[in-house]
Structure 1
C-alpha cells in the first residue's frame, strides 16, 4: 500500500474534515481535491482552483479540458474501487504554454470494513492530488535533446575520424546536417577556399531538387528506420551519384575572399555561425546568393581550424519552411568545428602522401641511376678491354689482308686458288672494318652514315648467316614493303646489331621453328620486327637482357645484345623485347628515317673506353 493510500485511509478513519485544513492546503504548490460519491468536486485547494480557472485545454485524446478530465478519472476510480495514477498528461494554457500534470486519486475507505458489496448509493468519496510536472518534463526533454545532440556530434565525429578521404569527409558533413537523425535541415551546401585564387567556391551539396522529391526521400528514410551511423555508412557508396541539381547549383557560387561586405566572408572573419535572411540583406551580391540557392533563409557556419580558413557550411529549410532557431545554429557550429579539423587533416594527409610519393620517386631514380652507373662502369671496362683486343688483332689482320690482296693481284683469274685468295682478302677487309668500328665505337661519325634501304640491310645480314641457319629446321620469312623510305645509318653497324639479334633467335630454336622479319614505316620511323618461335624469355629476365655480361648461353660472354642496343641508341633509335616463356620472342628495332639535323640524332655511346 502506498503512503498516499495510507494517509487517505487514516483521514477516513479519523473522520477529519478536509476542509478544516483549507488554509494550509491552499499554500501548497500542488492541486488537492475531494469529490462526493457521484464524482462531483466538493473541494479544491487554491492551486487547483487557479488551474481550473485558467481553462486549460487538453492536448491528448483522453482530455479535452482539466475539470472534465478529473471527473472522468474519478468515475473510473469509483467504478473500480482502485486507486489511479496518470503521468504527465499534457495541457495548454491561454498563453499557449504547455503544462504537464500528474494525477493521483484514491477512494476513501468505508467505516465498516466488513462491507464488501457497495451499491450505487453507497459509493465512497474520492480524494486526489494534481502535480504540475511541467518544469520536470521540460528538464527531461532538454536532457533528452542534449543527449541526442551529443549522440549526433559523437556519431558524425566518429565518421569524420574514420577517413582521410576529402570527398568522404564532405559527404559525412552534409549527411550530418541534412539527415533527420542529424540536424534535419532540408539542404546543405559546402564552399571551400581556393587558396590559389583566394576565392570561396562551391564544392558539394546535398538535398532534394523539389518538394516532391523531398517528400519521397523523407518517406523512404522513414521506412528504413536507420540510425545516423547506419545512414552515414550507407551513403559512403553513393559519392557523386546523387543530388545532381544542388551540386550543379552550389558550383555557381564563387565569392572573392576579399569581399568584406559579403555575409559569408563576414561570418568567416568573425568565426561565428549565424542565421541570415534574404529580406535583411543589404547588397545585391548577397541577395544573389539567396536567388542562386533558391531560399529565403540560411544557416551559416564558418569552417576555420587554428585560424586557417577552410570554407563555409550553409543549410536551409526551403521545402518544409521550418524556422531556423539559435539552438540549430549552435549545434551546426559544433559540427563545423569537427568538419574543419577533419578537412585540415585530410589536406595534411594529402600533402604527406605527395611528399612520400616524391621520396619514393626519388629513391626509384637513385636506384635507376645506381644501375646505370654500374652499367656504365661495366661498359667502360668492356670498352677498355675491347679496345686493347682490337688493337692486338688489327695489326695481324691488316698484315694478313695485305698479303691476301697481294696474292690476289699475282694470281690469274683462272687460277683455282684465285677465288680462295679473293674470299680471304674480302673477309679480312670486313674484319678490319669491324675492328675499326669497335675502336671508334663511342663515336658515330657523320661521314660513316649513308642513305640505305633497311630491308636490304636485313636481307644482306640474313645472307651472311646462310651457313648458320639450318634450312631443314628453320624457315625464314621476310615481309618488306616495296616503298620503304631510306634511313641515314651506318650500314655495317646496323648489320652487326641485327646479326646479334638473329643469332639469339636461331639459338632459341634448337628443334627448329620460324624466324620472321618484318620492316614497316609509320610516322617517319622505320620498324624492324624480328619474331621467333623458340622457348622464349622469362618475364623476370626481360629487363636485364640488354645489360652487359648478362647471358643464359653457356658459351657466351653476354655482350651481343648490349652492343646491338648501344648501336641502335647511337642512331637515335630504340630496341624493345617482348616475350613469354615457351611462346617465342619479338625484338622491335625502331630507327628514324629522316633527320633535319643529322648530328642531333647522333648520341655518344655509354659503351666507353675506345681509342
Structure 2
C-alpha cells in the first residue's frame, strides 16, 4: 500500500456523516475506505471489505465496471452511471446513481478511484409513478378527444344505421379507441328481446390476423372513417352473426341481459358462455349498458379477440362516458324516426282530406248532373216515345214494296236507340235496387266472359281466363256484376283495334275475406291525366270512349261494398283491379237500395 495513505487529508468525519455510499480504491482496486452509507446500501460492514479487492466483493459487477474504473484512472476523467438497478443482500433490488472519480494525491498523481453511490430508489419510484400517470393522462386525453370526434360525427345524422356504424367504428378504429371488436344490441319495441343490430371487427382471431395489415395501412382520418358508411359491413361474418342473435329478456343468466337490467358494466372473463355468445367467440369481454332516464336501450359488447389485451378500469371509465353519449344519440334517432312517422301520418291524413274533398265535389257534380239529366231525359223521352209510336204504327200499315219503308224503319230503329240511351241514363241517375243473393264469383266471371268471347274473336283479341279454385261465395246482384265485367272487357277491346290479349284472373284471400279480380289488356294504355279522370261521368277521349261506362262500373262495385282501381301505362296496357268482400255465414239474401 502507498505510504502516503495515512497522511492523506480525506476528512473521515465528512465521509462518515453523509448518507451517500463512498468507496475509496487504491491502484490495485483494493478497498481502502468504506463509509457507513455504503454499509447501509450494500449490507457489508467495513471489517468485511477493507483490504479486499472491489471485484472480490462484487464479482458480478466486474464485466461491466472494471474497464470503466480503469479508464477513469487512466484518463483522469470522471464517469457517471445513472438509474442502475443494484441487487443488495438485505434490501433486494434498489435503483442507484454511481459516479466514479479519479483519486489524486497532493502531487496530482492518480492513486486510485472514488466510487460514490447514491440510492435513488424512492426518487426513481416517484418518477416512474409520474411517468405512468402522465402516460395515462395522455391516453385519457387522446381517448376523450376521440370520444368528442365520434360524438360530433353522431350529431351529423339521425339515421339509426349510420349512428350505429359511427359508434362501432369509433370504438374499433386504430385512430379511435382501438379495440379489436365492438357489437351493439338493442331492445325490441315490445321489450321482450335483446336483438343484435351491428358488429364491426373479425369473427375470430384468424380473420383478425388476415385483416390486421390492411387496417394499419388505412390512411383515412377517424372523421373520414366514421362518416363513410356505405353498407359494406352488412355482409361481414361478424355483422351477420350479431344480427342473427335475439336473446329473450328473461334470460337473466346472460351477461348481456344482466348488464342491461342492473345498469352496470360487466367484465366477463369466464370461458363458459351461453349459446348466443358462442356464435361470436366471446370469452373475455366487457358489456356496457345503454339506457335512457326511463328505460334500457341495449348494450355494447367490446373485446380484444386478436391482441388479447385486457380492458382495464381506466378504459372502462372512458367507455362508460362514451356509452352515455351513445344513449343520447340513439334516443335522438328514435325521436327523429317517430317524428318522421308522425309527419307521414299527417301527410296521409292531408291526402285523405284532399281525396274526401274531391269526392265531395265529385258527388256534388253527380247530383247536379243527375238533376239536369233527369229533367232533360223526361223532357226528351215523351216526344221521342210519341215519334217512335207513330213511326211503328206507320210501318205496320206500309207495304213491303213501299219505297218509304226504309226511311220509316230507320226512324223506328233510331228512336229505339234513343229510348234505350235515355233508359240507361235514368238507371244510372236514379236509385237502383240490388237483388242480392249468394253467388260463386267464378260463375259470375265465367258468364260475363262467355258474353263477350265472340266480340273478342271478331276483333282478333285472345282472352285468357285463370280462376282461383278456392270456393268464394259473395252476396251479389249477379246481373249487375256481369254488366260491370263485360263493360271493362269492352273498354279493353276499344283500346286494341289491331288485336291483342286480355287476361282475366281471380284470387281468393280467406284471411282478408275478399276476392280480387284483375282484368288486364295489351292495349294502348292511358296517360296519368286520362287515368285520373277515367271514372268521371261523360268523360271520353279518342282512346277511351267510356261515357258513363266506367262510372257505372264503379257505382256497381261500390254498391257491392267493393272497390275498383285502374293501373295503366301508355303503350303497355291497362289493368282493372276489383276487390269484393266474401259473404259471411249469417248474411241474409235480399234487396239493397243504393243510397247517395
Short-chain TM bin:
0.5 to 0.7
**Residue in structure 2 matched with residue 188 of structure 1 by the alignment:** 182
> What is the CA-CA distance between 1:479 and the residue it aligns to?
2.3
> What is the CA-CA distance between 1:409 and the residue it aligns to?
1.6
**Residue in structure 2 matched with residue 267 of structure 1 by the alignment:** 259
**Residue in structure 2 matched with residue 165 of structure 1 by the alignment:** 159
Map 1:458-497 to 2 at 5 A.
Answer: 478-479=460-461, 488=479
Residue in structure 1 matching 2:358, options 350, 353, 371:
371
> What is the CA-CA distance between 1:180 and the residue it aligns to?
3.6
**Residue in structure 1 matched with residue 400 of structure 2 by the alignment:** 413
Q: Does 1:219 align with 2:213?
A: yes
> What is the CA-CA distance between 1:185 and the residue it aligns to?
3.5
Map 1:90-489 to 2 at 5 A.
Answer: 132=124, 133-224=127-218, 226-234=220-228, 236-244=230-238, 247=241, 251=245, 253-256=247-250, 259=252, 263-278=255-270, 293-442=280-429, 443=431, 478-479=460-461, 488=479
- Residue 192 of structure 1 aligns to a residue whose secondary structure is strand
**Residue in structure 2 matched with residue 543 of structure 1 by the alignment:** 532
> What is the CA-CA distance between 1:235 and the residue it aligns to?
5.6
> What is the CA-CA distance between 1:357 and the residue it aligns to?
1.1
Cα distance 1:147–1:423, how it changes in 2: closer, same or farther (>3 A)?
Answer: same
Cα distance 1:99–1:381, how it changes in 2: closer, same or farther (>3 A)?
Answer: farther
State the distance in 2 between where 1:547 and 1:262 align. 64
> What is the CA-CA distance between 1:493 and the residue it aligns to?
9.1
**Residue in structure 1 matched with residue 551 of structure 2 by the alignment:** 566
Cα distance 1:295–1:396, how it changes in 2: closer, same or farther (>3 A)?
Answer: closer
- Residue 182 of structure 2 aligns to a residue whose secondary structure is strand
State the distance in 2 between where 1:484 and 1:579 align. 23
> What is the CA-CA distance between 1:106 and the residue it aligns to?
13
Contact 1:272 1:301 in 2 (8 A): yes
Contact 1:569 1:603 in 2 (8 A): no
Cα distance 1:528–1:391, how it changes in 2: closer, same or farther (>3 A)?
Answer: farther
Contact 1:305 1:344 in 2 (8 A): yes
State the distance in 1 between where 2:339 and 2:201 align. 33
State the distance in 1 between where 2:24 and 2:590 align. 116
Cα distance 1:424–1:82, how it changes in 2: closer, same or farther (>3 A)?
Answer: farther
**TM-score between both structures, scaled by the size of structure 2:** 0.66
> What is the CA-CA distance between 1:351 and the residue it aligns to?
1.6
Deviation string 1:152-176 (CA, Å, 9 cap, x unpaired) is 2212222332322222333333333
- Residue 203 of structure 2 aligns to a residue whose secondary structure is coil
> What is the CA-CA distance between 1:144 and the residue it aligns to?
0.9
Cα distance 1:458–1:160, how it changes in 2: closer, same or farther (>3 A)?
Answer: same
Deviation string 1:258-302 (CA, Å, 9 cap, x unpaired) is x3x6544443344221323327x8xxxx66666555444331221
> What is the CA-CA distance between 1:104 and the residue it aligns to?
13
State the distance in 2 between where 1:602 and 1:375 align. 23
> What is the CA-CA distance between 1:311 and the residue it aligns to?
1.4
Cα distance 1:249–1:495, how it changes in 2: closer, same or farther (>3 A)?
Answer: closer
> What is the CA-CA distance between 1:347 and the residue it aligns to?
1.7
Contact 2:22 2:34 in 1 (8 A): yes
- What 5-or-longer segments of structure 1 have no aligned partner? 1-15, 54-64, 109-119, 463-475, 507-513, 554-558
Cα distance 1:407–1:288, how it changes in 2: closer, same or farther (>3 A)?
Answer: closer
Cα distance 1:406–1:145, how it changes in 2: closer, same or farther (>3 A)?
Answer: same
State the distance in 2 between where 1:346 and 1:213 align. 32
Deviation string 1:523-549 (CA, Å, 9 cap, x unpaired) is 4968585846xxx97644542354357
- Residue 311 of structure 1 aligns to a residue whose secondary structure is strand
> What is the CA-CA distance between 1:435 and the residue it aligns to?
0.9
Deviation string 1:54-101 (CA, Å, 9 cap, x unpaired) is xxxxxxxxxxx99999999999999999999999x897999xx99999
Deviation string 1:129-182 (CA, Å, 9 cap, x unpaired) is 998443442342122122122122212222332322222333333333333444
Comparing both chains, which one has the higher relative contact order based on Cα–Cα distances under 8 Å and sequence gaps of 6 or more?
1
Contact 1:188 1:313 in 2 (8 A): yes
Cα distance 1:550–1:415, how it changes in 2: closer, same or farther (>3 A)?
Answer: closer
- Residue 157 of structure 2 aligns to a residue whose secondary structure is coil
State the distance in 2 between where 1:246 and 1:493 align. 52
- Residue 264 of structure 2 aligns to a residue whose secondary structure is coil
> What is the CA-CA distance between 1:236 and the residue it aligns to?
4.8
> What is the CA-CA distance between 1:382 and the residue it aligns to?
0.8
**Residue in structure 1 matched with residue 6 of structure 2 by the alignment:** none
Cα distance 1:497–1:265, how it changes in 2: closer, same or farther (>3 A)?
Answer: closer
Contact 2:158 2:332 in 1 (8 A): yes
- Residue 441 of structure 1 aligns to a residue whose secondary structure is helix
> What is the CA-CA distance between 1:396 and the residue it aligns to?
0.4
State the distance in 2 between where 1:84 and 1:180 align. 44
State the distance in 2 between where 1:383 and 1:337 align. 68
